[in-house]
A and B are shown apart, each in its own frame.
Chain A
Amino acid sequence: MSNRLIVSPSPHLRENTTTKTIMFDVAIALVPASIASIFFFKTPAAMILLISIISAVLAEYVVQKIRKQPITISDGSAFVTGQLLALNLPASVPLWIPVIGSVFAIVVVKQMFGGIGQNFMNPALAARIMLTISYTDRMTQWVEPGVDAVSTATPLTFASDFTSVQSGAPSFVDLAIGNIGGSMGETSAILLIIGGIYLIYRGVISVKIPGLFILTVAVATLLYSGFDIEYMLYHLLSGSLMIGAIYMATDYASSPVTPRGKIYFAVGCGLLTSVIRLFGAYAEGVGFAILLMNTTVPLIDRYTAPKVFGEVEKQNA
C-alpha cells in the first residue's frame, strides 16, 4: 500500500472552478444575446454564429497540431472567442468574414503570443477591428432586424457628433431589447446585462471593470450634453458599450490583475470611448478604446502592485 501513496506539495484541496467552467459560464452568459440575435436577424445570424465558432475552434486545433503543442480546444476559450466575434459582426456580412475573423483572432492574436492567458489584446475584439479596417463597407452595412435586411443606421449615428439625440432615432424600448440596427449581439442591452449579472453572480468577473467603464461614459456624456439624461442613456444603450464593457474589457488576459489597476483600466476605457464617440471621426469608440487600454496593461499592473501586508508600518517604523 505505502508505495502507492502520492506525495505532493500542499495544499491538498482544490476548488472546483477550472478554466473550462469559467469559459462555459461566459458562453452561457452570451446565450440570451445569441438567441436574440437569431430572433431578430434570423438565419444569417445563426449561420454566422455557427461558422464563427467552428472556425475559431478549428483554427486553434490546427495551429496547435502544427506547432506540436498540447491541444487545448476543450478548455472552451476558442469557442467563446468565436461566439463573441460573431456577436460583434453585422448580420449582413458574407460567411467568409467570420472565418477570416476567427482565424485571425485565434492564430495571430492568441496563439502567436503564447496562447491562453498570454494574448495582450482581446482576440475577438482585435479581429473585429481588423475586419472593420479591412472590409469597412461590409462591416458597416447595418441592417434592420427582420428577414429583409433593409439597410439602416445604428442608433449611435443619431447621437454621436451631436449634443442631443436627433429626431428619427429608435425608441428606448427598442434600444433596450435590441430591436435596432447594429452588430448581431450588441444590440440588446438588457440581455447583455443579464448575462453580465450571471457572470458576476458566478464570480467569473467583478462588477468593477464594467461598472466603472459604463459609469465613466455616463458621466462624460452627461457633462458633454449639459446634463441631458436622454442623451446619456442613448450612449449607454447603443453601440458596443455593453458587450465591450461586460465581455471584452473584462477579458482576463488583456486586463490588469491588480485591484487598483482594474479601476484605472476601466476609467481609461470609458474616457477613450467617450472621446472617440464625441470628438472622433468614428461613431463608435468602444473597440478602439479597449484595444488601446489593452496595450497599457503591463504598465498599469507594474505601477499598481498591491501593498504587501504590513508594508506601510515597516516604512514608518
Chain B
Amino acid sequence: MKVFSFKGGIHPPEFKEYTAHLEIEKAKDPKVVIIPLQQHIGAPAEAVVEVGDLVKVGQMIAKPGGFVSAAIHASVSGKISEIGMKPGTNGEILCAVIESDGKNEVDDSIQPRSDLSNLSKKEIVSEIEKAGIVGMGGASFPTHVKLSPPDDKKIDTVILNGAECEPFLTCDHRLMLEKPEEIIKGLELIMRGVGAEKGIIGIETNKPDALEVMFEKASNYKSIEVVGVETKYPQGAEKQLIQACLDRVVPSGGLPMDVGVVVNNVGTSYQVYESLSTGMPLIERVVTLSGSALAEPKNMSVKIGTSVNDLLEQCGGLKEEVRKVIMGGPMCGQAVSSTEIPIMKGSSGVLFFNEEDGDLPEASNCIRCASCIHVCPVYLQPLHISAYAEKNQFDIAERYRPMDCIECGSCSFVCPAKIQLLQGIKIAKNEVQKKKNK
C-alpha cells in the first residue's frame, strides 16, 4: 500500500501502548452532569429550560444561538438543579447542571429511523444540526455548518480523519476497530449531505489493525477508499491530511472547501450515523484517559457533562502525584487547573501527568538551529515570529505570517532551547487579529 504524507512534521513518542489494546468501556452513569452551553466554536447555545425543570435523555436543553452554533441536549434524565457559571476547560463557562434520577428515561422526540436511504441532502444536514453534532476530534466546529458550503464551492471529496496523530489518544483507533461499519455508513451520509462522489479514510500506519478492518469494510463500497498515511505529527491536521490524501494544497487563509474537500473526524462520522439511525443526539463520546500519573488508563464511553473526577475514580485513581491535567492530546490539548470540570463534545482525552512529565524545562536563548523551520508543516519561521512577539514588535512579527500557523506545536516540541515558540506565535496572532478588527 502506498503511504501518503506531507512535508515537515515531527515524530513524538506515541505513548499509545497504554490504551490502544483496551476495549471501549462504558463509564458508570453519573449522578450529576454539568453541561456547558458552549461546547463548540461559534455562538453559545441559549438555554430553553429553567432551574427545576424535569428533563429526559436526549431532550434539547439549549438551542443554537446562531447559524454557527450547536444545540445542547440532556445526557441523563432528571432535574435541572442549577444554571450558572462553572469551571470548564477554558475558565468559567455557563453550564446547566442536571441531577440524574437514575432512570435514564428517553425523551419522546427520540425516534429510531430504520431506513436512511430516502433522506434527502437537506434532511441529512438538518438532522445533523438537530443532533447537535460538532467536530469530535477536538476543534468542535459545528458539523452542519461544515456541510453547508456556499453554492459556488463544489465539494467532490469527503476525507475522514483517522490519523489520530496526537500521542496518548486512542479513542479514534478503538472506534475504528469496534465500530467500522458505523463509521463508513456515517461517511456515506456525510458524502450524500454535501453531494460528494468520493470518500477517503486516512489512517496512520501505526494502526495496522484499524487499517485492515476499515479496508475490509470499505471494500464493499465503490466510492470509499482507505489510505495509509505516514505516522507523523500533525498528520491529522486538516490541510496536511488533504495534502497527503489528495495532493491538493489549501490556499493560505482558505478552507478545505476551497479545494473541494470537507474533512471530518472518524468519531464525528460515527456520531452522524448513530444520531441519524437511533435519533439520539450527541450526548456521549469516547474519551481516552491516560498519562503517567493515572493508575488504570482506559478508553471510555462517557456521557457529556460527566466530571473528570468521576472518571478518575473509575480509572483506579492516581498512582502518583499529578502535576498537570490536560484536556485533549499532549500537543494541542489544554492544561486545566482543576479536575472538577466536565467532559464536553470535543474532549478526546484526559491526560494525567506526573511531576516529571508535567514540569516544563526552562527556556534559554535561541541558538538559531533552525529546527523549528525544518519541522513547520506550513513552512513558517517560528523563531522570528516568537522573538518579535516577545519584543512587542508585532508589525515585524506580522511579516512572518503568524496567521498561517495551525498551532500544532511542532516548533515548541523540537526547540532545543525550550522556547515556547507556539505561545509567542499565538500572542502575535492575537495582536494581528486585534489590529485587523480595529
Which residues of A line the B interface, CB within 8 A? 1-15, 17-19, 21-22, 72, 75, 77, 115-118, 252-253, 257-259, 305-314, 317
Chain B residues near A308 (CB-CB < 8 A): 252, 378-380, 401, 404
Whether A309 pairs with B418 at a CB distance below 8 angstroms is no
A6 and B365 contacting across the interface, CB-CB below 8 Å: no
Contact assessment for B360 and A8 in the assembled complex, using a CB-CB cutoff below 8 Å:
yes
| Chain A residues in 8 Å Cβ range of B334 | 10
Interface digits, B38-78 against A, CB 8 Å rule (1 contact, 0 not)?
Answer: 00000000000000000000000000000000000000000
- Which chain B residues border A9 with CB–CB below 8 Å? 335, 420, 422-423, 426
Q: Which 7 A-B pairs have the closest CB atoms?
A: A11-B409, A309-B378, A310-B252, A257-B370, A314-B251, A117-B367, A306-B379
Contact B337 A5 (CB under 8 A): yes
Measured between C-beta atoms, what is the minimum distance from B326 to chain A in Å?
6
Q: Does B150 contact A (CB under 8 A)?
A: no
Query: Could you say which of A18, A77, A252 contacts B370, with CB atoms under 8 Å apart?
Result: A252
Known contacts A10-B334, A310-B254; A117 and B323 CB within 8 A of each other: no
A-B contact pairs, 14 of them (CB 8 A): A5-B323, A5-B335, A6-B335, A6-B359, A12-B331, A14-B360, A15-B414, A117-B367, A306-B380, A308-B252, A309-B252, A310-B254, A314-B252, A317-B251
Structural contact, A5 and B379, CB atoms closer than 8 A: no
User: Which residues of chain B come closer than 8 Å to A21, judged between CB atoms?
Assistant: 416
CB distance from B356 to the nearest CB of A (A): 12
In the complex, chain B residues whose CB is within 8 Å of the CB of A72 = 364-365
Q: How far is the CA of A62 from the CA of B426 in the complex (A)?
A: 37
B270 interface residue per 8 A CB criterion = no
Cα A177 to Cα B69 with chains together (Å): 71
Given A2-B340, A309-B377, residue A13 in contact with residue B360 (CB < 8 A): no
Residues of B within 8 A of A15 (CB): 10, 12, 413-416
Q: Which of A3, A12, A253 contacts B353 (CB 8 A)?
A: A12
Q: For chain B, what secondary structure do more than half of its interface residues adopt (helix, strand, loop), or is it mixed?
A: loop
Given known contacts A6-B324, A252-B367, A14 and B381 CB-to-CB distance under 8 angstroms: no
Q: Which residues of A contact B36 (CB under 8 A)?
A: none
Chain B residue at smallest Cβ distance from A11: B409
- Tell me, rounded to whole Å, the shortest Cβ–Cβ distance linking A212 to chain B: 16
Contact pattern, B 239-254, Cβ under 8 Å of A = 1, otherwise 0: 1000000000111111
**Docked CA distance A75–B400 (Å):** 29
Closest to A254 in B: B368
Q: Is B383 an interface residue (CB 8 A)?
A: yes
Tell me, yes or no, whether B358 is within 8 Å of chain A by CB: yes
Partner of A4 from the list B323, B332, B410 (CB cut-off 8 Å) is: B323
State how many angstroms separate the Cβ of B96 from the closest Cβ of chain A: 23
Contact across chains for B379 and A115 when beta carbons are under 8 A apart: no
Question: Quick one: closest B residue to A3, CB to CB?
Answer: B337
Instruction: Find the residue from A5, A17, A19 having the highest chain B CB count within 10 A.
Output: A5
Which residues of chain B in 315-338 are interfacial with respect to chain A, using CB atoms and an 8 Å cutoff? 321-326, 330-338
The minimal Cβ–Cβ distance linking A224 to chain B, given in whole angstroms, is 33
> Given the complex, which residues of B lie within 8 Å of A2, measured CB to CB?
337-340
- Choice from A6, A305, A317 contacting B360 with Cβ under 8 Å: A6
Judged by a CB distance under 8 angstroms, whether B177 is at the interface is no
Looking at the assembled complex, report how far the CB atom of A52 sits from the nearest CB atom of chain B, in whole angstroms: 21
Chain A CB within 8 A of B366 CB: yes
